[in-house]
Amino acid sequence: MIEVRDVHHVYLRDSPLAAVALRGISLTIPDGERIGLIGPTGSGKSTLVQTLNALIRPTSGTVSVDGEDIFAPKADRRRVRQKVALLFQYAEQQLFEETVAKDVAFGPRNLGLPEDEIATRVHEALQSVGLDPDRFGPRSPFTLSGGEMRRVALAGVLAMSPKVLILDEPTAGLDPQGKAEFLQLILRLHAQRQLTVILINHSMDEIAQTTERVIVLDAGRVVMDGPTRQIFARAEELEHLHLGIPQTAQILHRLRARGLPVRTDLFTLEEARAEVLRVLRPA
Amino acid sequence: MELTRYVSIGQYLPRDSVVHRLDPRTKIGVTTLLMVVIFVITDFTGYGLLAASLVGLFLLAQIPLGYAARGLRPILFLLLLTFVLNLFFSGLREGTPLVRLGPLVITSEALSRAAFISLRLVLLVVATSLFTYTTSPMALTDGMERLLRPFRRIGVPGHELAMMMSIALRFIPTLLEETERIMKAQMARGAEFQRGNLLRRARAMLPILVPLFVSAFRRADELALAMEARAYRGGEGRTRMKELAFAARDAVAWIVSVFATAVLLASRWLGLP
């Protein structure tokens, strides 16, 4: 469980270039939840997630992971980063090793694990992102496609055996099929490894399809926090923040505005189709 | 760790002053003359006058004098070294001994020489920093390109040099941002950069340098493509949005500095008072 208490962060405090990023964030993130973190550009999403694994030390406030204050003087940052993994935007750009297997091994090796344990983890991690370890392991990461490279990067953080997986726009720049596959992969990992997933994303459809809770940030504050359906029901407020709602919900909202009494909190094409048919063809 | 925000590129301080508005070519020229003057002057009186006029220029440019001192920080060590070396090993055989430290003797002549050489360094840095404080990197490259144009006949690729310089300047912040992101990404995988001996630290840089180079090459490729897509083919026949043009203030600056330099050179070599 991650607990965030009144976290404020100012970049370059005490300088003329000071920029306030977080203004008093408090959150509780229970184990195993799938959370969507949304908000306009510059709302503090990326800053917030970087405070969760001690990459950014907030100006004030506390963050604790499983009851331990991660900014305490004696806190073990490496252990925190092992527990709370963060996949950055365009994560394929962080690959550097000669082979895929070596690159995935980077994290476990930094943790000081024995060689056979490292090998097992690499194998498992590659398998769980859908890359055959025997086929891809010995290849150079730079010969792979963009989508494959991103999977390797994901395997790289999974090999740390984290409890929490934070993904900063993991589908940016992938083609539609690649996006869908990557989201499926995240859902599968959540189920298989009982991961807590925190997903930053600009596509409301993707958020609606993968998360059960949505946190909305604006100007460094939490402005909404609740179950995904409830949050997306507040279409006007979201629109006001330039965030919008999933496309299916948009269509349902419009149908409703034209007098068709449909529910508007449905986010998959199937659900929406069934709902429209239900209303048009009363039994 | 916010690399991007701590490193300022160049030292340009935007102000609305006469010095800022001078044509970059004028500033390059005047700065060059200043350097010549600094090397020609051989006495403290001269340097006193020069220092006073530099202070005047800083005030005119609305650059706080503290900034002039700040520019000296990076060369502090060099300055100290120069001073000490000149103090002990000035090569002056004769002189009035001031202090004796075993085999080392400090003469008053050596002290004065050491002070003079250090002052020369300080003035050089302050004079050039006035130039960088008041000239934006873009203006600087524009000025360079224009000044190099006459040398194209003898094969100096002025436009290309200026273009490379402005591209390099343009990408410094981008690369810094990228470095920061990659560093954090590797730290998220348990990398540490501040631990261990020098060799270990150097090895720890590898996971940053490789991705950085890969992306720099990719960016270079993309930029080249984007430039070619817009039919870039070098400086031949290329027009510019902002043409450099000399104004009355440039004439004033040129006349004053050329005149002052000429007087100085004349007094130096013709033995005038």
Instruction: For chain B, give the percent of residues with pLDDT over 90.
Output: 31
Query: What is the rounded distance in angstroms from the CA atom of residue A206 to the CA atom of residue A34?
Result: 12
The answer as to whether B142 is a domain residue is: no
Across the interface, whether the CB atoms of A55 and B190 are under 8 A apart is answered no
- Say yes or no: B127 and B249 in one domain: yes
Name the residue facing B207 among A50, A78, A96 (closest C-beta). Answer: A96
- Closest to A48 in 3D by CA, of A65, A63, A35, A33: A63
Name the residue facing A50 among B184, B206, B215 (closest C-beta). Answer: B184
* Cβ atoms within 10 Å of A140's Cβ, excluding its own: 13
For the segment A109-135, the average pLDDT, to the nearest whole number, is: 94
State which residues form the domain around B117. 12-135+245-269
Number of domains in chain B: 2
Going by the DSSP 8-state scheme, the letter that residue B104 receives in this structure is: E
- Say yes or no: B202 and B82 in one domain: no
pLDDT at residue B6 tops 50: no
User: What's the pLDDT at B9?
Assistant: 46
Interface membership of A81 toward B (CB under 8 Å): yes
Say if residues A151 and A159 touch (Cβ distance below 8 Å).
no
The residue of chain A with its CA nearest to that of B209 is A96
The answer as to whether B164 is a domain residue is: yes
- Say yes or no: B60 and B96 in one domain: yes
- Say yes or no: B103 and B31 in one domain: yes
User: What's the pLDDT at A123?
Assistant: 96
Q: B171 pLDDT band (50/70/90 cuts)?
A: confident
The answer as to whether B152 is a domain residue is: no
- Say yes or no: B111 and B179 in one domain: no
Full 3-state SS string of chain A: CEEEEEEEEEECCCCCCCEEEEEEEEEEECCCCEEEEECCCCCCHHHHHHHHCCCCCCCEEEEEECCEECCCCCCCHHHHHHHEEEECCCHHHHCCCCCHHHHHHHHHHHCCCCHHHHHHHHHHHHHHCCCCHHHHCCCCHHHCCHHHHHHHHHHHHHCCCCCEEEEECCCCCCCHHHHHHHHHHHHHHHHHHCCEEEEECCCHHHHHHHCCEEEEEECCEEEEEEEHHHHHHCHHHHHHCCCCCCHHHHHHHHHHHCCCCCCCCCCCHHHHHHHHHHHHCCC
pLDDT at residue A267 tops 60: yes
pLDDT at residue A226 tops 90: yes
pLDDT at residue B116 tops 60: yes
The answer as to whether B236 is a domain residue is: no
Interface membership of B185 toward A (CB under 8 Å): yes
Average pLDDT, chain A: 92
Interface membership of A55 toward B (CB under 8 Å): yes
- Say yes or no: B64 and B123 in one domain: yes
- Closest to A83 in 3D by CA, of A157, A154, A179: A157
Which residues of chain B make contact with A89, given a CB cutoff of 8 A? 181
Q: A215 pLDDT band (50/70/90 cuts)?
A: very high
For the segment A111-135, the average pLDDT, to the nearest whole number, is: 94
- Say yes or no: B77 and B119 in one domain: yes
The answer as to whether B141 is a domain residue is: no
Which residues of chain A make contact with B182, given a CB cutoff of 8 A? 93-94
Q: A268 pLDDT band (50/70/90 cuts)?
A: confident
The ipTM estimated for the assembled molecules is 0.88
- Say yes or no: B115 and B22 in one domain: yes
- Say yes or no: B118 and B48 in one domain: yes
User: What's the pLDDT at B92?
Assistant: 67
Across the interface, whether the CB atoms of B185 and A160 are under 8 A apart is answered no
Write the pLDDT tens digit of every residue in A162-197: 999 999 999 998 999 999 999 999 999 999 999 999
